[in-house]
Amino acid sequence: MQLTPPLPLKQIAGIIDAEFDGDPAFQVTGINEIHRVEKGDLTFVDHPKYYKKVLDSVATTVIINKKMSSPNGKALIFSDDPFRDFVFLIKQFRSFEQASAMISPTAIIGQGTVVQPGAFIGNNVIIGKNCLIHANASIYDHSIIGDNVIIHSGAVLGADAFYFKRRPDYHDKLESCGRVIIEDNVEIGANTTIDKGVSGDTTIGKGSKLDNLIQIGHDTIIGKNCLFAAQVGVAGCVNIEDDVILWGQVGVQKDLTIGKGAVVLGQSGIAKSLKGNTTYFGSPVQDAKAKMKELAIMKRLPEIIEKLSEKE
């Protein structure tokens, strides 16, 4: 989430009543959790295991639960609970805004776009030209949709990220302040759900087609001309490059990359990054030809075992 205008370090620290190390005028240009940070962003870290990763990232302001000197080019804000204070800042800069109508008066809808009865268009949504939004689709606040997009009934764009911190007796929610961005010529099937970024953008690339009953997690970036069949589930912070095909019921773990032109056959499970221009199958996935040979051998196991027993 970008801050417009940027704010000085002293003002940000003052909002959460925290001490800081750095130039009071140091500029904070955005707020992002670690997976999608950019230069100028504020992020947080609350476990020693991740100190190095966060402090070495491009984020330039860090809320941290350990007193130390700021690394070169960065500023630190000290907190006994960085997660709590990060959420507090999100609520200050992008709080929930109750809808006043089925189509918000702040929504911008392009020429030639048709919004069928019963569709919900939230606050500050931008929809391009010649789109078709079917009945009972829901487009949450701040979503951006390009030209020539089709969104079928029951689809939900911009629901909150599934992101929680485990507390001793409950799960503490990281409030979402990101967006969903749908580029030109995308089609989104019935009852498909695309979660907004925690603090960045979940993006569906130009020309990609999503079938019915698909789940796309927060901060995932899908490339151009991808094809996803029904019941595909993609976790958060996944990078899917152009021309990828995921067939029915493929499951994708979080925080990995699927290379350009990869094809994953139905009911496969993806637990690690995949190189492009290869067909995969299985759970966990492997090269489809190798997996098919393995299955053929497994089918013959009773016969092989019987022959070995006869030799004994």
Q: Active-site positions?
A: 218
In degrees and rounded to multiples of 5, residue 291 shows phi and psi of -65, -40
DSSP, residue by residue, 75-128:
EEEE-S-HHHHHHHHHHHHS-----SSSB-TT-EE-TT-EE-TT-EE-TT-EE-
Residue with tokens 């919900």: 120
Residue 200 is given by DSSP the state S
* Chain centre to alpha carbon of residue 258: 14
Residue 160 is given by DSSP the state P
Cβ contact 145:139 at 8 Å: yes
* Rg (the chain; Cα; Å): 23
For the chain, how far is it from start to end, CA to CA, in angstroms?
70
How many CB atoms sit inside 10 A of residue 185's CB? 18
Residue with tokens 């759900």: 193
Closest CA to 270 of 258, 285, 280: 285
